[in-house]
Amino acid sequence: MALVVQKFGGTSVANCNRIKRVADRVIRRKKQGDDVVVVLSAMAGQTNYLISLALEMQSQPDRRELDVLLATGEQVTISLFSMAVKARGFDAESFLGYQIPIETDTAHTRARIRNIPTDRLKRAIEQGKIPVVAGFQGVDNLGDITTLGRGGSDTTAVAVAVALDADVCEIYTDVDGVYTTDPNICPAARKIDRISYEEMLEMASLGAKVLEIRSVEFAMRYNMPLHVRSSFTENPGTMVVKEDESMEDVLVSAVTYSKDEARITVKKVPDKPGIAASLFNPISEANIVVDMIIQNTREGNLTDMTFTVPKGDYEQAMEIVKRTADEIGAESVAGDRGISKVSIVGVGMRNHAGVASKMFDILARHGVNILMISTSEIKVSCIIDEKFTELAVRALHEGFGLDKTDS
Ligand code: ADP
Ligand code: ASP
Ligand code: MG
């Protein structure tokens, strides 16, 4: 008998019929003799809808109040699901974040889980019930409701699985598993059977939203196997597990993209010690994450600094940078929101030279200009004009032999 945590995403619980189907599925597993703990998202589109309501009230909604609002999405699905289970003659018990409690820090809208006591969940399991946990939400030490950031139900699921020492955490979604690239923009994408935590972590960080980044971090740290699979079919999905030797045979495992990028250039900054610190300290104090940075030296002891920030933080970052630019005597500040980042990921890159240059060749052949580059041991990323994103993803997918017909 295994202990399984099953998480169902927004599309899997998008309406009453789907919730009933999920209940049937969970009960089937229970009947096979496994203990199941369920984690649910809000109905598809619901979190976006709630955000749109908040924006009608305040242009930058108060984060504490926003969390109170957003947490209602998951409250609806866990209660409806538990009713569906009971209607089928089985027993379920729903839990909001504060009832378990899922203890987090106080960083509203992007809280981190600190601890999950398991007493209530274990008691429910012992009583033969199916515990049903609201994803995405927690409670801080003041007793205030927090949320974990978009896609955060994945993190709830993995954290609950780790706390309960479950055998596996199954993430049910609207695709068959983790693909070599987003199947919704590249029809030639292939499902990956097994992928390492490290590669999955890079993919998640570089835009593959099929798993939320922190959920993969958690799984990797505690060696919790993840099974990403479809809630609409019985097909086996993708196992996210520890790296093994066979994984290194594949040079590039996946292509990812992110349109959530914006670029800022500070022109003609006096080139002297401390300039980078004066420029980037105020940005990091505002909790804005700077990704790529390029410094170009000009004549006359001047330099240009170009860097990227998440699109959502662009306006705030521009305001801060303009202020600092004046202070440090820069000539001007320019910005561009129309960019994206395409990346190739693979543990096989560690032992092979020439992967980056092949990527540059492929992009060049398709007429895609590269604006910025960054590399690490297992990935290469290029910033390009946003309008070429899909073209670049498909070209790289084909160029690195990932298309379906190659298998
Ligand atoms: P859920 O609501 O179940 O959490 P998400 O929308 O968060 O689902 O994640 C699933 C989506 O992730 C897919 O519909 C797909 O468009 C997208 N996606 C992006 N990259 C990949 C990838 N490499 N493999 C699979 N899906 C991907
Ligand atoms: N409902 C939340 C969101 O849409 C959390 C999740 O679905 O994972 O981001
Ligand atoms: Mg998701």
What span, in angstroms and rounded, lies between the C-alpha atoms of 133 and 47? 17
Distance 224 CA to ligand 2 centre (A): 21
**Per-residue pLDDT at 405:** 74
**Separation between Cα atoms, residue 242 and residue 223, nearest integer Å:** 7
Give the number of whichever ligand sits closest to the CA of residue 152: 2
Query: Widest CA span of the chain, in angstroms?
Result: 79
Give the ligand 1 atom nearest the CA of 192.
24
Burial environment of residue 219 by CB neighbours within 10 A (0 to 12, 13 to 18, 19 or more): buried
pLDDT digits 0-9 by tens, 188-200 = 999 999 999 999 9
The whole-number pLDDT of residue 224 equals: 98
Give the tokens for residue 183.
């199947």
User: What is the whole-number distance in angstroms between the Cα of residue 47 and the centre of ligand 2?
Assistant: 6
pLDDT at 64 (0 to 100): 98
DSSP secondary structure, 50-75, as one string: HHHHHHHH-SS--HHHHHHHHHHHHH
What is the pLDDT, as a whole number, of residue 351?
84
> Which of 43, 154, 175 should be mutated for ligand 1, with most atoms under 8 A from CB?
175
Cα of 58 from ligand 3 centre, angstroms: 26
Taking CA atoms only, the protein residue closest to ligand 1 atom 12 is 210
Domains of the chain: 3-174 (3.40.1160.10), 255-399 (3.30.2130.10)
User: By C-alpha distance, which of 353, 348, 171 is closest to 254?
Assistant: 348
Residues with CB under 5 A from ligand 3 (ion): 9, 151
Residue 391 confidence (pLDDT): 97
User: H helices within 106-212, ranges in order?
Assistant: 119-126, 153-164, 197-205
Q: Output the CA 39–ligand 3 centroid distance in Å.
A: 12
Q: What is the pLDDT of residues 64-92, one digit of tens each?
A: 999 999 999 999 999 999 999 999 999 99
Q: What stretches in the chain show pLDDT beneath 70?
A: 406-407
Q: Whose CA is nearest to atom 5 of ligand 2?
A: 151
Ligand 1 centre to CA of 233 (Å) is 16
